[in-house]
Amino acid sequence: MSRAITGLILLLLYYSFLLSSCNHKPQSENICSSSEITSIRKMMKVDAKDLAIYFDTSIDKNIEITKKDFVNYIERLWNNNVPEISDGKPDFSKPVIIWFSTTDEGKKFLGEAIDNGFIMKKINSGSSTIFLVFASDNINLSFAIYNFLEELGIRFFHPTDEFVPKFSGIFLPQELNSKNFSPFKTRGIHLHLLHPIEYFRSFNEVGEENLKEARKFIDWLVKTGQNYIQWSILKTLDFPRWIEHAKNIVDYAHMRGLKVGAEIQLLSSASLQNSFVLVSSEKNWKEQIRNQIDFLMNIPWDNIEIGFGEFFSSNPEELIDMLNYIIKYTEEKYPHVTISVVNHVGNYPNLWINYKGESIFYYHLPKFADPRIVNNIHTVFFFDLFRDWGGYGHPNFHLHRDYLIELLPSRIVRYKPESAYWCSADIDVPAFLPEYIHSRWIDINGLVNEIEKRKLPMIEGHIMFSSGHEWGYWMTDYLTAKMLWNPKSEFKKFIEHYSIAYGNCSDIIERLLLEFINLQTIYLFDNRLVPFISGEDIYDDIGYMAGIETHPKRVQFEELLKMTQEELRKFEADKIDKLKEMADKIIPLESELEIKCNASDSFIRTWCSELHDGFKIIRLRLMHSYNLYKAVIGKIKGEDFQKYIDEAEKIKGEAEKTIKNREQFLRFDLERLTGSYTNPTIYPFGYLRQAHTLCFWNRQEEQAKYVIEKGEKPPISDIRTCID
């Protein structure tokens, strides 16, 4: 064979290889499969004819809904392989039995009891394998059934968007042995509807579709083991129509075993938003309280929660008198209703008042009022009760932890932290901050351990202050609900619970998310960099002029002009260079996550995409801020600054593409979430409006450019407000 022919053959073989490489997907494609959950969890496959399911309990409406849900979910999960389903106790004729029970027969077979909670146990008895799920009552059995579905591979991540894979048949756990009890008697969500979040219409606007959404949210609370819902009541609602809508929601919640609360404000003088208030003037305040409570009780609330506003204090004696009167009046006329207060935050001089010769934090005055008042200790943002940082002027929230501990021996106490702050701080920037999940674990784990160590009565409840679920913030509410049932578990266990949905990629996703959270802990929290990725609107600027900070304030661009060369060098090294350092460390995590997302099945991909967009938007926000500061510093030093401005604008363009991509998958109508429109809140837009328009990114660019061009602080009038 001549060299020419040999060369031609080799050339043809080479091109054939290239063509083959182009027409075939890499072997890494489709590597992340949700069907692999069964093998990762080492689950056993069962034939439908060998399995029987029994509901051995009294039947109420809540159990009817739960039972119907269970059948629907296993049909989807097991690909229509539905076994025999019966009411009553089993006859043990099948090789495999799932037995849901609240009866003495179930308790006797189990050999142990539980007063409040549920037990799930796999028991080999004779020729049968029994999966016995026993609860003390129907509401706990309902929690147990949904928990058992999660043992099978389902995840109730979001009220309108659940993770339900499809397996090739019936798969059950190889091992099952857990005793599930929550030390928190009250576990729930406060929907902060003073903000135009996605659930505003669901709970506050009349309509059948809105009612369905509200019921879905209540269903989700039951599915995640929670038993309380509360939302903010606005004075601007269409009350003649809304009352019937609210009654329907409350009735449905009661039917599902939940208690329901209404959050209002005590004094109009301290209410900065459109909250429903009890007292508008000092004259005839008792009559006002009676009339307003009677009006509220057209709806069968279980709890009325009273806030004292923000930033403003009032006469302490009058405040305590009002609280005592509220308790007295409701106890006489509505004895089933509990009264609670929000112990808010704000470390400002006017909030430290003299009461009986002692300096008292204003929001702690309820400890001098009727002991039947429930105290809800509130913290903000991703701060917690234990670490050394806080907001609203507090160096930390140890003051609030001490108050909580002080009250435990004599009063009912709940904790009310946040899962998102919203107001120019996180979700509306947008910024994905799973450091919130870490903070909520620090609180829950730390409180339970400290209370037990001190041998004090256990904290009564945990109410999550929720400000929206998009951009991954549903994860905080979902995983916190899990923590309330397992407060002593390691943090890693909850990230594992989330990541198991990724099947054979679960270990990788768990590692990537834990590393991402760890970076946020080190840089955003420990190194205090979170102000550089948060935003600011005109309200923040006005607050700064009044000496008020609601979330940590970043060093303003104009402040750099006054720094010495040494101060500037230190600031650049300690803060600005660390922004890039964190961003650089995100790059390999983001890249690895993108590969896994692209190689995932359809059940995983949408969730993975949300996680990836969250990683990416944080990196872009870090680099956007980094380049703007480098531009201002470059101008001060007489160096080339324009390259940094150009890079910041380029990064903003990438962020815009990322945001548009995420908006394809938002769980509610885009106009509802990002549009500009009149509504009963003080914010004339959907809660993701500023994220949609990149207003905070544009505003920061305008500030940097003004300082570079004019050499001074930009007037408020020259910068966009980001409140429209």
Which sequence spans correspond to the domains of the chain? 35-180, 186-488, 518-718
- Token pair of 86, please? 């019966």
347 Cβ contact partners less than 8 Å away, ≥ 6 residues apart: 390, 392, 393, 394, 395
* Residue 51, CA distances (Å) to 66, 73, 81, 94 in order: 20, 16, 10, 6
Domain 186-488 has CATH 3.20.20.80: yes
Minimal CA–CA distance to 103: which of 63, 73, 71, 69?
63
**pLDDT tens-digit map of 574-628:** 999 999 999 999 999 999 999 999 999 999 999 999 999 999 999 999 999 999 9
- Tell me, what DSSP letter sits at residue 487? T
Antiparallel, parallel or unpaired: β 277-279 and 259-267: parallel
* Residue 659, CA distances (Å) to 303, 369, 621, 664, 702 in order: 39, 48, 12, 9, 20
Cα–Cα dist 221/474, whole Å: 12
Per DSSP, the residues of 267-294 read EGGG--SSB-EEESSSTTHHHHHHHHHH
Minimal CA–CA distance to 180: which of 106, 121, 265?
121
pLDDT for 232 beyond 80 = yes
- Tell me, what DSSP letter sits at residue 553? P
Q: Of all helices (H) and strands (E), which one includes residue 156?
A: strand 155-158
- Token pair of 294, please? 């009677």
The pLDDT mean for the chain works out to 94
Reply yes or no: is the peptide bond before residue 430 cis, omega within 30 of 0: yes
DSSP 3-state percent helix, strand, coil across the chain (nearest 5): 50, 15, 35
Cα–Cα dist 604/714, whole Å: 46
* Residue 236, CA distances (Å) to 159, 164, 241 in order: 27, 39, 12
**pLDDT tens-digit map of 371-427:** 999 999 999 999 999 999 999 999 999 999 999 999 999 999 999 999 999 999 999
Other Cβ atoms within 10 Å of 47 Cβ, number: 12
127 Cβ contact partners less than 8 Å away, ≥ 6 residues apart: 95
CB 186 within 8 A of CB 463: yes
475 Cβ contact partners less than 8 Å away, ≥ 6 residues apart: 157, 434, 437, 498
pLDDT band at 5 (very low <50, low <70, confident <90, very high): very low
Antiparallel, parallel or unpaired: β 259-267 and 303-307: parallel
CA angle 538, 542, 543 (to 5 degrees): 115
Q: Which fold has domain 35-180?
A: Chitobiase; domain 2 (3.30.379)
In one letter, which amino acid is 100?
A: F
Q: Of all helices (H) and strands (E), which one includes residue 131?
A: strand 128-135
pLDDT for 21 beyond 50 = no
Q: Exposed (0-12), middle (13-18) or buried (19+): which is 577, by Cβ within 10 Å? A: middle
Cα–Cα dist 164/654, whole Å: 32
pLDDT for 34 beyond 50 = yes
**The pLDDT value given to residue 25:** 36
pLDDT band at 82 (very low <50, low <70, confident <90, very high): confident
CB 126 within 8 A of CB 92: yes
pLDDT band at 30 (very low <50, low <70, confident <90, very high): low
Length of the chain as a residue count? 724
**pLDDT tens-digit map of 460-503:** 999 999 999 999 999 999 999 999 999 999 999 999 999 999 99
Q: What is the pTM (predicted TM-score) of this model?
A: 0.94
What are the φ/ψ torsions at residue 449 (nearest 5 degrees)?
-65, -45
Cα–Cα dist 183/187, whole Å: 10
**pLDDT tens-digit map of 418-429:** 999 999 999 999
